[in-house]
Amino acid sequence: MKPGAVGLDLKDVSEAALKTRYCAQMMAAGCVLASTAPDDFRRRVLARPVLVYCHEFIRWARRAKNELRSATGDRETVGRIARALNDLEQRDWGDYEEIRHRIAAHRQTIAPDSVDALTARASMWSDLSDDALRILAEDARDIWNDIAAVSGVPRLESFPPIDPALQTAIDSHGYEPVPSGVVVGSGSFDSTRPDAVLATQGGDLGEQNRQLVDAVRNVRTLSQLWAAVNGYEPFWRVVLGATVTETCTLLDLLFEAPVTGLGHQQPALLALLERDLPCSLAIKVLSDARDSLEVSALAHVRDLRNRAGAHVDDKAALREISSLLAGFEPDKLNTVLDACFAAITSAANVELALRPILLHDAVMPGLSQVDRPETPPYGSA
């Protein structure tokens, strides 16, 4: 194991306290990784786990606070922790919780929202900055340190540093090079990219294609970064958790989400094709791909996502969650991803309505980004 281990031998500490500490650590690590991203899109990819862990931090910190109230009777400290949690949840967390639900941990439908509410959340997501992430992580660290002072557990004094060897790995191969030239963009944020010509498509299938492009890009970004952070605590945990979560998003968008009773998932591409294009050859392609998914690989990826990626499991002890992450089987994760990518490519090759999925990020040869003129052209005032 490389420098910066997060493990502690704290046999007498409650699971709520341990998981609170763990979530604060993962938020801090996610912030540090996001600050290495070369552009806004990839920073948002790494912001997702920060939002996931912030949701889990608030949940576990409230449990730890309640345990302290029962165990110590220290009403002053518990009251201070409660006020800090309320401030975090109401002031800094706020609408980010909706972004966590709709973008980071799940893909939720957007129809019930008003246009104004949707626009406001989209703007908040687009403007998510390193500073905003750091405020969330610093709030969590301060709350944890108040809990630690009463629990007798080590404080978290600083954000995890990036080891020089890790920095070299990130710089050399942590991110794909930015394409040189103008690209065709069909994802959520391509309208704001100066190097992209936006390809738009209306209707539910157009929305689904956009979501799929986003998910494919996210997995690609995380997979590339994994090659750099693998083995470096605590960063590999953040990237692995985010990767399995995004892999399950890709599965849900293509085939179908597991039945949860929550009703919040985006409809699957297969269901949309059956409804809107019942004669499409892509239906059989996707049905066959879904039916041929390796059961054990699928179960492994779903288990990682549900217990350690999108959530910090209630039923498992933190040491079990850590062991689950450390013992993940890359061949099974790769099997699922290969099946998803093959299904996307094959379906888009036989269905014209899905072709924008293949079109994204294609570099248009002979074109380059035009420099903005220093003075406006005549007549533009």
* pLDDT of amino acid 102: 61
Exposure string for 239-258, b = 16+ CB within 10 A, e = fewer: bbbbbbbbbbbbbbbbbebe
pLDDT of residue 200: 73
Q: Note the Cα 191 to chain centre separation in Å.
A: 21
Taking the C-alpha atoms of residue 217 and residue 41, their distance in angstroms, rounded to an integer, is 9
Q: Are 32 and 167 in contact (CB under 8 A)?
A: no
Q: What is the reported pLDDT for 266?
A: 64
Helix-helix angle 318-326:15-34, to 10 degrees: 40
Q: How far apart are the first and last CA of the chain?
A: 61
Contacts of 339 (CB under 8 A, 6+ apart): 289, 292, 293, 294
**pLDDT at residue number 174:** 93
Q: For the chain, which ranges sit under pLDDT 50?
A: 1-5, 109-112, 114-115, 118, 261, 263-264, 366-381
- At 33 the pLDDT is 96
Report the SS3 class of residue 294. Answer: coil
With tokens 């157009």, the residue in question is 206
Residue ranges and CATH numbers for the domains of the chain are 11-159 (1.20.120), 172-368 (no CATH)
pLDDT value of position 370:
41
